[in-house]
Structure 1
Amino acid sequence: MKRLARIAVLTVSVFTSLAGCVSAPTGPTIAIMPREGKPFEVFQQEDKQCREFADNAVKDTSNAALKEGATSAAIGAALGAAAGAVIQGGSSPNIGTGAGVGLLGGAAMGAMNSAGKQNQAQTQYNIAYQQCMYSKGNQVPSYAAPVSGPSYR
């Protein structure tokens, strides 16, 4: 019974640490500059609008990363418990050890999978942010500012 309590505590701590590792992007990782002559206050307003737009564009990806990490850890624990039972002939101490090892392995796989999803979310965030800022006439790396934007002079 004590072993099950330890496994439960370990499970909760791994899920908590996975939740802490996975987060939505907190901002763009690219530099955008205002077009020449655009007031900085206007640029700041556009930046805020575009950050909100990009946040909405990646909500589903960030949630998927967290779910994938938790699912991988749970599957790993179940497979580890099953392997521990098979290898040791069903004795309960070894089932607990197998579940613990499986949980750690599953958590590691989940962390790797969710890290990939998190990178994907950051890329999607940057693209959405760039598109929004470009559409407002700002200078985006590798792209010239649109010539049809409003004049601020």
Structure 2
Amino acid sequence: MKRVVLTLIAISSLAACVSAPTGPTIAIMPREGKPFEVFQQDDQQCREFAANAIKDTSNAALKEGATSAVIGAALGAAAGAVIQGGSSQNIGTGAGIGLLGGAAMGAMNSSGKQNQGQVQYNIAYQQCMYSKGNQVPSYPTQGGNPNYAPPNSGFKPIQ
């Protein structure tokens, strides 16, 4: 019973390390002439949009960590039983070692999924903010100069 409680504590502490993105990690600027209050409204709406866009990814990161820890504990217990002929002490030792290994692998896997979630969040946030006319790094400003004409390439179509 004591080992079960310790296993559950370890799994829950691993799960506590995984969290959904709390906000964008990119800088967006309001377009010229846009009131700051309107920009703040855009920001709030786009944060909600981005959070809804990645719900499945953040849940997958949490499940990945917990599942790996449980599988590691089960495999460790089985290995401890097989290696030492079923001694309960060796089963517990194997389960403990398996839990640690599984938790470590789960933490690495869930960290990768969490990073993937942040990237997806940023992309959704950028798309939303750009669609509202804000300045997004590496994207041209919407609308541009009304007098803008593309440069002359010297190419003339065949007639």
1:36 pairs with one of 32, 37, 42: 32
Asked if residue 100 in structure 1 is aligned to residue 96 in structure 2, the reply is yes
Helix, strand or coil at the partner of 1:137: coil
Q: CA deviation at 1:10?
A: 2.0
The residue number in structure 1 matching 2:12 is 16
* Distance in structure 1 (CA, Å) of the matches to 2:16 and 2:71: 20
* Distance in structure 1 (CA, Å) of the matches to 2:38 and 2:48: 16
The residue number in structure 2 matching 1:70 is 66
* TM-score of the superposed pair, with normalisation by structure 1: 0.92
* TM-score of the superposed pair, with normalisation by structure 2: 0.88
- Deviation sequence 1:94-136 (CA, Å, 0-9, x none): 1011001101100000000000000000000000000000000
Asked if residue 130 in structure 1 is aligned to residue 126 in structure 2, the reply is yes
* Distance in structure 1 (CA, Å) of the matches to 2:2 and 2:111: 27
* Distance in structure 1 (CA, Å) of the matches to 2:5 and 2:105: 20
* Distance in structure 2 (CA, Å) of the matches to 1:131 and 1:107: 36
2:3 pairs with one of 7, 12, 22: 7
Greater than 6 Å deviation, 4+ residue runs: none
Let me know the Cα RMSD of the aligned residues. Answer: 1.0
- Deviation sequence 1:70-114 (CA, Å, 0-9, x none): 111111001000000011110111101100110110000000000
- Deviation sequence 1:28-71 (CA, Å, 0-9, x none): 00000000100000000000000000000110000001111111
* Distance in structure 2 (CA, Å) of the matches to 1:72 and 1:20: 15
The residue number in structure 2 matching 1:110 is 106
Q: 2:121 is aligned with what amino acid?
A: Y
Q: CA deviation at 1:21?
A: 0.7
Q: 1:24 is aligned with what amino acid?
A: A
- Structure 2, gaps ≥5 residues long: 145-159
Aligned length: 144
* Distance in structure 2 (CA, Å) of the matches to 1:107 and 1:9: 15
Greater helix content: 1
